[in-house]
Chain A
Amino acid sequence: MSAIPANLKYLESHEWARAEADGTVTVGISDHAQNALGDLVFVEVPEVGAVLTKGAAAAVVESVKAASDVYTPVSGEVVATNDALKGSPELVNQDPYGEGWLFKIKPSNPAELDTLLDAAAYGKVVEAEH
């Protein structure tokens, strides 16, 4: 059973989003996603300063058997990226909701967060895929 923390929001495409105290949103991929991909060999993060629209491809996670796009759950400007992933892409596998975060984005429209799936709804998505 893959882990689905209750305090996060999710996309059907297996991204998670966490609203931080400073107003930014941290984005990563779910435990289910990292398991399906297998050992990650490379992560391509967006450039700091990039302005993205909700649903746009923001990053790429690459394993031996797949290279998948990671879509941004909200529109806004990228304010930080996880540099540790350069040397250690496996952090995403080991700790997908913590050390394995991909990027932080300053949302231009915070209301978009409310349109995301909650843990229960995402749990159903994962169940349907099995």
Chain B
Amino acid sequence: MAMHEPLIFTHSRAGRRAAGQYPREVEAKVPEHLRRKRPAALPEVSELQAVRHFTRLSQLNFSIDTHFYPLGSCTMKYNPRACNELAMLPGFLARHPLAPENLSQGFLACLYELQEMLKEVTGMKGVSLTPMAGAQGEFAGVAMIRAYHRARGDHERTEIIVPDAAHGTNPATATMCGCTVIEIPSLPNGDIDLDALKQALGPKTAGIMLTNPSTLGVFERNIREVARLVHEAGGLLYYDGANLNAILGKVRPGDMGFDVIHMNLHKTFSTPHGGGGPGSGAVGVGERLLPFLPVPIAAKEGERYRWLDERDLPQTIGRLSAFMGNAGVLLRAYVYMRMLGREGMHRVADFAALNANYLLARLRAEGFDAAYPERRASHEFIITLKRQAKELGVNAMDFAKRLLDYGFHAPTTYFPLLVPECLLIEPTETEAKEDLDAFVAAMVAIQREAEQDAAKVKGAPYTLPVRRLDDVRAAKQLDLAYVEPEQGA
């Protein structure tokens, strides 16, 4: 593994260039007062220098292709290479988003079929593929709920109920939509507190945002009761699909009573995480919200495909992107779903649950504490290191950093906020048993280290390009862009 690579700017030399990439030189016509006086200080390197620099940078990363990556709620499953290659076929890659419909039939066919498959697995009546990430999907969902109430003449419904275990995007989204967030607690066993829910419901309730299985890694057993209560109070149910991998093909959100759902195609449907994105947060809706879907939407009329826009859906909440969302991501999800097919779609959750429950059982057998020991794991589970933190002074962060030395990307730490010193672990279905066993062995080794030499664990990692970084300094002495050292300094 490469251990260090200087900033690209240090490789620059005045006049160095990758001339093979430049078109011929021509003079630009720009009025004097608008002309750029000095060129931007971008790198001046040869093509090889650029290639070497960025290749070496890539070698400083952990990734699914190189490491087991059990990040809870992120679903780090294998990103099939075929998805990438086929989404980047020249016909799709060179196509302009505004090309006329008669030059878009192949592309639209893929998108239309993707919409249909997503409707089928979620039990919803309509799908829009335009939201570009889960958070945008959430936004679309809450905006549609508000639009629905307003269309009925009900302007009082401005409250969104959110469990305290929810992902941060849920309350942030509700605020962005101009709603007030009402937080309700979860019970010690992980289910929603129904009494708290009843108290929170009322004439101002627009809806509730739920994840099921919840972020605590357990299935919300009272879901039908929750749905009944919320609907009776006049509110709608929003489903955060981040954990769809746990129930794909087993139970459908539409059948659970949800009115709107967002899916994270970059989680459940295996599109690449790319170091932070791009994602895709497709939304699905039941009958009530169909008129409000964000546009454009692919439609099929006879044997031809076309786009539906504001003229076809006059009550749409509008557009979330300049074009139709992250098209390339959608094509990757389409290829993945076609490769899983009907049988495969039912079995993803089988092996996701098998791997999660196996890992949970092995870790418990080795003495680790599960946050919800009486519950089955869904596709993920929580281990709490509260005891180790108290008795040994070694906490979840320390275990996470030491796992890096053992060649594993750490699980999600300190989320959900409800469980102290937690590790949220999601192996996904694409990991082999031996890799899970190796992870357990590493956790056991770290536990032993913690008992015998706590300082060693607390000082980890040791074998990566950097040791632990000074976060406080990063936030106090802001260095967010490289400034060249002064000449002659």
A→B interface (CB under 8 Å): 38-39, 41-42, 62-64, 89
Contacts and interface: CB of A to CB of B under 8 A. Distances in A.
Contacts of B471: 64
Interface string B300-312: 0000000000000
A90 B472 CA distance: 10
Interface in B456-489: 471-472, 474-476
Contacts of A63: 472
Q: B interface, by DSSP: helix, strand, loop or mixed? A: helix
Contacts of A64: 471-472, 474-475
Nearest to B472: A39
Nearest to B473: A41
Contact residues on B (Cβ < 8 Å of other chain), bracket: under 10
A39 B474 CA distance: 12
B224 to A, nearest CB: 36
A89 B473 CA distance: 12
Nearest to B476: A41
Contacts of A42: 475-476
A126 to B, nearest CB: 18
A63 B476 CA distance: 9
Given A64-B472, A64-B475, 12 more contacts: A38-B472, A39-B472, A41-B472, A41-B475, A41-B476, A42-B475, A42-B476, A62-B475, A63-B472, A64-B471, A64-B474, A89-B476
Contacts of B472: 38-39, 41, 63-64
A63 B471 CA distance: 10
A42 B474 CA distance: 12
Contacts of B474: 64
Contacts of B476: 41-42, 89
B169 to A, nearest CB: 16
Contacts of A38: 472
Nearest to A64: B471
Contacts of B475: 41-42, 62, 64
A27 to B, nearest CB: 23
A62 B471 CA distance: 13
Contacts of A62: 475
14 contacts: A38-B472, A39-B472, A41-B472, A41-B475, A41-B476, A42-B475, A42-B476, A62-B475, A63-B472, A64-B471, A64-B472, A64-B474, A64-B475, A89-B476
Nearest to B474: A64
The 5 A-B residue pairs with the shortest CB-CB distance in the complex, in nearest-first order: A41-B475, A64-B471, A39-B472, A41-B476, A64-B475
A71 B192 CA distance: 30
A29 to B, nearest CB: 18
A42 B476 CA distance: 7
B413 to A, nearest CB: 12
A38 to B, nearest CB: 8
Interface in B10-57: none
Interface in B364-393: none
B181 to A, nearest CB: 14
A62 B472 CA distance: 11
A41 B472 CA distance: 6
Contacts of A89: 476
